[in-house]
Amino acid sequence: MQIGKAPVVLVNHSLTGDANLSGYKGWWTEIIGVRKVIDTKKYTIIGFNIPGNGVKGQVFDTPEDFNTGDIASLFLKGLTSLRIKKLYALIGGSIGGGIAWEMAAISSDITEFLIPVAADWKSNDWIIANTFLQKRILQNSSQPLQDARMHAMLTYRTPQSFDSRFGRTLNKEQNIFNIESWLIYHGEKLEKRFQLKAYIMMNHLLSSINIERHGGIALNIIKSIKSKIHLIAIDSDLFFTPFEDQKTFKLCKKVMKNIYYHEIKSLHGHDAFLIESESMKKILSKIF
């Protein structure tokens, strides 16, 4: 198979996402599609499923055998098999952004634009702590997927987001608070569409992001990346906090010109990159 002449954009999915990017059940249809900011009439859009994410039943029994660097290497091999020597843009949200960082660390000229969204080049202690708790829930709960998802939603949103939406109101049918009903709904929803082994795998990968595994310190690795790097953070993100991107930007801006920082204003936290479509469009329209 060989991709045509249109500029190629690779989009890496997030923790419970997949390679279905647009159209029916696509998770980023507001951004990708005909006459959208990433226009499928102008660009060739591709996505790879992260191995072990459960799509088509693919799961692994030993997630500790893998890290995001392995996934990045596999994605680069996928591009080679498609005869793609260079991307126009490499975008990833959350863990997908971490994998994008690792791809650029391995292949410094793979893309013209590197765009990690609500992501970071490493799993810091906060991410490791949360994935450790997720692992404990997955190992010990009688309803592991439901309970792990409910905990995760508390890191993907913010107290202000919950207050603005629910305001301590009651679900009279269930005789519980609406926030509790909402958490139960998201837990049950994930359980219906996701496999336990796949969630364990993705949670493990999330804790493993680290471009420094490819040799050297982060600053030198980032300096070697030939792409224009656009960091997109969310001011209220409680998971991949904007502070980490700000540190990276301030450190790198002193010694390189090809790095830029953007910040989405939202009360919705980490998930804002999926919610605040107009803000995402405004940032991405300058690149596309």
| CATH number of this structure's domain 126-204, picked from the four choices 1.10.760.10, 1.50.10.20, 3.40.50.300, 1.10.1740.110 | 1.10.1740.110
Is the pLDDT assigned to residue 3 strictly greater than 70? no
Separation between Cα atoms, residue 180 and residue 170, nearest integer Å: 9
Separation between Cα atoms, residue 63 and residue 192, nearest integer Å: 22
Is the pLDDT assigned to residue 2 strictly greater than 70? no
Is the pLDDT assigned to residue 112 strictly greater than 90? yes
pLDDT of residue 222: 97
| Mean pLDDT rounded to a whole number for the chain | 96
- The domain locations on the chain are 8-122+210-284, 126-204
Tell me the per-residue pLDDT of 69-105, one tens digit each, with 9 for 90 and over.
999 999 999 999 999 999 999 999 999 999 999 999 9
Tell me the per-residue pLDDT of 19-55, one tens digit each, with 9 for 90 and over.
999 999 899 999 999 999 999 999 999 999 999 999 9
Identity of the residue numbered 281 = K
Tell me the per-residue pLDDT of 196-233, one tens digit each, with 9 for 90 and over.
999 999 999 999 999 999 889 999 999 999 999 999 99
CATH code for 8-122+210-284? 3.40.50.1820
pLDDT of residue 1: 44
Separation between Cα atoms, residue 145 and residue 276, nearest integer Å: 27
Do 8-122+210-284 and 126-204 come out as alike in CATH topology?
A: no
Give strand pairing partners of 11: 91
Which has the higher per-residue pLDDT, 25 or 59?
59
Tell me the per-residue pLDDT of 136-192, one tens digit each, with 9 for 90 and over.
999 999 999 999 999 999 999 999 999 999 999 999 999 999 999 999 999 999 999
Helix (H, G, I), strand (E, B) or coil at 117: strand
Q: Environment class of residue 256 by beta-carbon count within 10 Å: exposed (0-12), middle (13-18) or buried (19+)?
A: middle
Helix (H, G, I), strand (E, B) or coil at 129: helix
